[in-house]
Amino acid sequence: MEEGTTVTTDERAGAAASGAAAHRGLSVREVTLSYGGAPVVRELSLDVPHGGLTMIIGPNGCGKSTLVKAMARAIKPDAGSILLDGTDLRAYKGRTVAREIALLPQSPIAPEGISVRGLVRRGRYPHHTLLRQWSPEDDTAIAFALERTGLTELAEARVSELSGGQRQRVWIAMVLAQQTELLLLDEPTTFLDVAHQYELLELCGELHREGRTIVAVLHDLNQAARFATHLVVMHEGRVVAEGPPAEVMTAEMVADVFGLRCDIVPDPRTATPMVVPHARHPAAAQQEPLPVEG
């Protein structure tokens, strides 16, 4: 099927039903990705659990962001394929993909002078055609996105006037307004203070429980272990471990992949795995606590 060909509902159902390898949702099959030079991702295969909250972790430069971009068809694989419900993403028109998959990339740039509401409105564009223009359904989606990200009172403010954390929430609101079943978030906690990081991750958990499939790239291992239903570990362009956080987040894995010696203990609040790093220098571990004034 040629790139850009329209895929009908019947064709999608038929493709998904043909063969035991079909997987509902996103699948990556033997994918190699690069930017014109050496591969960043090499022969990687992965099934994203439908309805799950998947967190991808790994050292800098291991290919996490590149993989997420390919899942949204922002990067074309050098080899292999990305499948949506068993059909190659290249078989879909761009607008069709945008109705199914929303991507929040790293460090997006807002048009100059645009308001919060104006940027969030852009999430509705994939739903518009020559026959279907703006509707009350669009207004409802925007109001929902603004409310869920705590931006209702800032709807008329200019994005350029907001703090870094507020701007990040505007981009997340735009993705929510797109109302896709699949959300791909590349380091969504960037620029957020710690309180808003947890607010965002709790929102991801709520959306997952409401039926969304979410894939997020995170750097914080403890946050990933606390919120993920499925954890994917990447190293040097490949998936080296995946599964429930309780099985994947081990001291051996953290040492091998991140070069960090640690203990894994239960989080006292959630009982999920929590990474406690060892001191790199023995003297640091033997320091006496500072006296408390007063």
Contacts 24+ apart (CB under 8 A), 30-36: 30/79, 30/80, 30/81, 31/67, 31/70, 31/77, 31/79, 31/80, 31/81, 31/82, 32/77, 32/78, 32/79, 32/80, 33/63, 33/66, 33/67, 33/70, 33/75, 33/77, 33/78, 34/78, 35/66
pLDDT score recorded for residue 136: 86
Q: Which range has the worst mean pLDDT, 11-20, 40-49, 228-237?
A: 11-20
- Checking if the pLDDT of 160 tops 60, the result is yes
Question: Is residue 283 very low, low, confident or very high in pLDDT (cuts 50, 70, 90)?
Answer: low
Position 82, amino acid = I
- Checking if the pLDDT of 21 tops 80, the result is no
Go through the domains of the chain in sequence order and give each one's CATH number.
9-260 (3.40.50.300)
- Checking if the pLDDT of 265 tops 50, the result is yes
8 secondary structure, DSSP code: -
Question: Is residue 284 very low, low, confident or very high in pLDDT (cuts 50, 70, 90)?
Answer: low
Whole-number Å distance between alpha carbons of 151 and 186? 21
- Checking if the pLDDT of 5 tops 80, the result is no
As a whole number of Å, the end-to-end CA separation of the chain is 75
